[in-house]
Each structure stands twice: as structure tokens, then as C-alpha cells.
Amino acid sequence: MKKTGAEILWECLIRENVDTVFGFPGGNTLPLHDALHKYPIHHVLVRHEQGASHMADAYARVSGKVGVAIATSGPGATNLVTGIATAMMDSSPIVCITGQVNSGYIGYDAFQETDVTGITLPITKHNYLVSQTSDIAPVIREAFYIARSGRPGPVLVDITKDAQVASIEWEYDDSPIELPGYRPDLRPVNSDMEYATELIREAKRPLILAGAGVIKSNALEELKEYAEKTDTPIALTLLGIGAIPTDHPLNLGMMGMHGHAWVNHAIQESDLLLAFGMRFDDRVTGRINAYAPTAKKIHFDIDPSEINKNVKVDLALIGDLKESMQKLLPHIEPQKHDQWHRQIAAYKAESTPQDIQQWPDNGRLYAAHVVHDIWKLTEGKALIVTDVGQNQMIAAQYYLQDEPNSFITSGGLGTMGFGIPAAIGAKFAKPEAEVWTFVGDGGFQMTQAELATAAQEGIKINIALLNNGYLGMVRQWQEFFYESRYIATPITGPDFVKLAEAHGLLGIRVTKREEVEAAVRTAQAHPGTVLIEFQVEPGENVYPMVSAGSELHKMILRPTDNA
């Protein structure tokens, strides 16, 4: 049967179980968009292509499927770049489809021509330039296979306009995909397992470092079984939040620059670190040459390139984490580490900041109060999306998560502007979920145009805008390390309530803590998107904090006389 390249694309997407795409049309995607009326795929019209890539990213993280973003050539394609890099750093499977000028015009600086495959080469798992209609189907199949297999990540497919328009005789080919040189199924060998068992048996102060790989490999039960069998406490990375319930007795909480002080002390004093699906990012290690100096290190990771990249390890078990742990567990003997738990409890007693529920508000509204109160009012069951900065860290600290894929944030790239579009993508992935996004006034203004997308789509998200009048995290660094010279960090903005109302959405302003509950209950009851502007304390800081280049245990702690 004869099909155009555009029709072939949509048919391939349906075969890949795609029902929603996020994008913005243009001259070199007109054939694709014109053909869409024949297919049962919902196209979400974003207001900026960066929003499309963030929506696809969050959609993928929440749904477990591959997210899809579409943009035209030139500026449309380059506007995707930040979102692609975000997905690459956080191992999120998305496929970005871009239009390109006619193949005969490539290389001649045609209108809206940009070498997007060259631009995105460092920030994709793979990318393609397709100039033949016959190549569209096999390339799309390969793109989805690469995006979801092994360590997930973004793939870009750039399709020339003439390839979209031309017609060929075509039938779908579902034969197995074989890519020479691509081996996403590496597995540890028996000798590695024997050495791992030996290190585990000898350890007196073991500690699990659980990252996003635990969630992406669905190794949640294996993590729990291993920890309980060996009586090993668990520290979580930012993207590992939700890998084990908050109230599990072996869950110590978050590690790293703004992690709990007792967690960082435990890492530094451990004699065995078991890194499960994490990459030893600089934000969790502090100064590398002083990181966990007495610990042996076993690194479980699906990506060989991460081994010994940041931290030298004693043993690497490369492969899917779930499979590796299933292979390891039968060889592990039950253990108890009572003395180690007492030592960690002592760290906690020494360094626990004043409990948030005991902080006096003194008539002031703190962002940590807001997050904590929303956690209570939603019973900890909301799907949380954050922007980046103080709002992100406070949400990670005070909105306690018990479920995987319920805390969506930009970890590796730290992309301001992620929050609003990602919340929209998350809602499309899980329409029944109560979605809350915590955003700062700086990051919000980067992608606030996506309020129009939420309004047009008629979807329901709840936006907790923590407005402190600053680029808060940068201001905090200026306070600590630059003698409080606040250069380019004070930031103004529109009347956020009126802005929401201008889009036909509900806007609410909160200035006191006693107003939080009523605002949250109103938002929950409202059928559409709600923006609540919480006017929080300008000088509130995030504690603990490990300054750049410092040892992990040398943290700046919250002053006891200042909440």
C-alpha cells in the first residue's frame, strides 16, 4: 500500500504505543502535521519547543513509555536542545522528531536550515538525518529501541521535508532490530559475584547508595530484600527518591550537597559502599579525593562509561540492576549491623536540625513550611514535580515520597524552567494523579508561557509558586561565599495571580501560614489548573549545604537560632 513519509511516521509511532506527542508546527513539519488527522494520536500544542522536550521527558519518567517531542527545523529544533540535554543527564527515554529542509537544500544555508544532528551529537544517545522516505520506518524503530534499552536516553530523528512528502509502497516490518556494536545487555560474570559476596560478608559499616537506576530497572523489591537481609542502611540520591518508602527503618534519606547531615557522615565513615544505579555525581560526593576514604566500593550500573569516571571503585557489576541483584541475592547471607546503626543514630542526634513542625513562623511564611503543609494536606500521595533551585531542594527534603516515579525533577542538568512543562507532561502520563509542582519565581518566568498550554488542554495541575523575590539558590551562594553582594539575583515579576487569571486559570495569593490550608483545599477542589503564589521569606536558605570543593562531612548547618 502506498504511504507518504508523514503517514509512515505516524503509523510507526502508533506501533510504538504512542498516543500523545508534544510539539509545535512549522514549515518543515507541515506534511507531518497535515497527516496527523488520520491517526489517533493527541498532539499537545506547546508555546515553546523547550516545553515540548520537558513535557516528553516527564511523560516518559511517569508513564514508563518513550516520550515524543516534535519541532520544525532551525529555531524549532534548537529550542529542543535544553530539554534533550536534561533528558540525557537524567537517563530519560525520549524521541525528538524534527523537520529539516529539502535534502537538495542541505548545506546551502536555506531558510531555517540548521545542522541539528551536529548540534545534538553530544547530548543524545544517537541521532539520525533521514532524507529517504524508505528509511523513516526503520529509523523510527531503531530510535525507540535505542531510547528505551540499556541506559535510557534521548534520540533525535531529523527528517527532510521531501522525505515526508514522497510516497512509496510500504508495509510495516516488525522483524527484530539488530544494531552492530550496540550491546545494551551486558551482565556481570560469576567471578565478580563471588568477590562482591566476599566484600559484603567482611563489611562492618556497609551503606547502600540508591540512585535513579533502582527505579528505572524496577529493582525496588530487590533493593528492599537486599537491605533487609543484610541489615544495610540506604541513602538516596535526588533522583533515587521514592526507591524505598520514607518510613522504612533502613531509609536514612537523601545524601549530598543538601542531603541530611547524618547521611553524609555515614558515607564518610562507611567501610563498604554499594552504589546501586547512581553515577557518583559531584553533588553527592563533595571533594573526590576525600570521599568515603575508608570504604571499599562496589558499583552496580548498566552503563560501562560510568565506571571509575568520577570515583574509583573496587568492583564494577555492569548490567541491568534488577538482573544483577537477582543473581547476587541467593549468595548473600543474613547479617546484623547493630553497632553501625547506633553510630548513625548518634550522628542523627548530633546533627538533626530543629524539626520543621517546631519552627515558629513569627508571622512569616517559610518555603519549607509550605512544602511540609502541602505534604500533610495531600497525605504524601501527590505526584510532585519541581523546578530547580531552593524550591527543588526544599521539596526533596520536606515532601516525603513513598512511591517511585512520583518525584520528578531535573537532577543532572539542573534546568530552571523545567517545573511547569514537566508537570503538564506528568499529568498527561498519569491523568488520575494529583499533580503539584513547586517552582521558584525565577524558574517559573522562564517557561510561564506553558500556562496557556495547560489552559488550552483543559488539564489540572496545581502550581505552588514559592516567590521570594530572588534567584534564591544563587542568592544563597552570594550570601555565604560572596559577602552578600546580591548582583543580578533580585528579580521582579508580574502579578502572578493576575497572570493566572489572564489565562483563564485560578490564581490565589498566600502571605501567612494560616492561609495555606484553605488555599490548598481550594486548589484541590477546583477542576482546572490553579496557581498559588506563596510570598515566602526572601532570606530563607537551604540547609545543610556542602560548599563546592569541600569534604562531604564538612557541612554548613542551620543556625540554631534561625529557622
How do beta strands 2-4 and 167-169 pair?
A: antiparallel
Has 49 been annotated as catalytic? yes
**C-alpha cell, 49:** 519547543
Burial of 338 (0-12, 13-18, 19+ CB in 10 A): exposed
Q: Which residue is it, cell 544563587?
A: 474
Has 1 been annotated as catalytic? no
Total residue count of the chain as it appears in this document: 563
Rounded to whole angstroms, the Cα distance separating 438 from 422 reads: 11
3 state SS for 131-163: CCHHHHHHHHHHHHHHHHCCCCCCEEEEEEHHH
CB 187 within 8 A of CB 290: no
Beta strand residue intervals within 304-428, DSSP E: 315-318, 383-386, 407-408
DSSP structural state of residue 211: -
Closest CA to 226 of 345, 324, 92: 324
Starting at the edge strand that comes first in sequence, how are the strands of the sheet with 383-386 ordered? 407-408, 383-386, 435-440, 462-467, 530-535, 506-510
The number of beta carbons lying within 10 Å of the beta carbon of residue 354 is 14
* Catalytic choice (473, 476, 534, 537): 473
Rounded to whole angstroms, the Cα distance separating 98 from 69 reads: 8
Has 392 been annotated as catalytic? no
Closest CA to 276 of 255, 247, 249: 255
3 state SS for 227-264: HHHHCCCEEECHHHCCCCCCCCCCEEEECCCCCCHHHH
DSSP structural state of residue 551: B
Q: Which residue is it, cell 527543588?
A: 392
* Catalytic choice (3, 125, 161, 216): 161
How do beta strands 67-71 and 42-45 pair?
A: unpaired
Q: What SS3 state is found at 129?
A: strand
CB 226 within 8 A of CB 332: yes
Has 339 been annotated as catalytic? no
The number of beta carbons lying within 10 Å of the beta carbon of residue 202 is 11
* Catalytic choice (38, 111, 312, 514): 111
CB 444 within 8 A of CB 531: no
CB 143 within 8 A of CB 126: yes
Helix (H) / strand (E) containing 223: helix 220-230
Has 534 been annotated as catalytic? no
Rounded to whole angstroms, the Cα distance separating 234 from 194 reads: 22
* Catalytic choice (16, 49, 142, 537): 49
Q: Which sequence positions are flagged as catalytic?
A: 49, 111-112, 161, 473
